């Protein structure tokens, strides 16, 4: 099953909801900055993650963005700290 590299960024002013979303996302990816997660997910887990996130957030108050990065984009990611980016299998096309 193909995996997709997804960068999730969120802006939630309510501490309780922000913490709940953070804890939900820990089951699916790696926190790389405050309110930023990197996830390498197949379609099933991507769907589960979005449904779990939707149960936590309040769409009129909270803002969540999902960025889908291609394998080439992921390989060009730079960091000033330890390597945090998930690797993508060479035969995997990330859409």
- % of the chain at pLDDT higher than 90: 67
The pLDDT of residue 75 is 80
Average pLDDT for the chain:
86
Asked whether residue 92 carries a pLDDT value surpassing 90, the answer given is no
Q: Is domain 3-75 classified as CATH 3.40.30.10?
A: no
pLDDT in tens, 51-85: 999 999 999 999 999 999 987 888 888 778 765 55
Where do the structural domains in the chain lie, given as residue ranges?
Answer: 3-75
Quickly tell me which residue has 């000033």 as its tokens.
80
Total count of residues recorded for the chain: 95
The pLDDT of residue 91 is 45
- 36 by Cβ neighbours in 10 Å (0-12 / 13-18 / 19+) ranks as middle
pLDDT confidence of 93, banded at 50, 70, 90?
A: very low
């Amino acid at each position: 099953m193909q995996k997709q590299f997804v960068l999730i960024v969120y802006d939630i002013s309510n501490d309780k909801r922000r913490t709940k979303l953070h804890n939900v996302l820990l089951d699916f990816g790696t926190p790389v900055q405050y309110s930023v997660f990197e996830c390498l997910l197949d379609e099933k887990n991507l769907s589960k993650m979005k449904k779990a996130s939707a149960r936590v957030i309040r769409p009129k108050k909270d803002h969540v963005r999902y960025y889908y990065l291609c394998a080439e984009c992921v390989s060009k990611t730079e960091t000033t700290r330890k390597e945090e980016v998930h690797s993508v299998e060479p035969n995997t096309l990330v859409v």
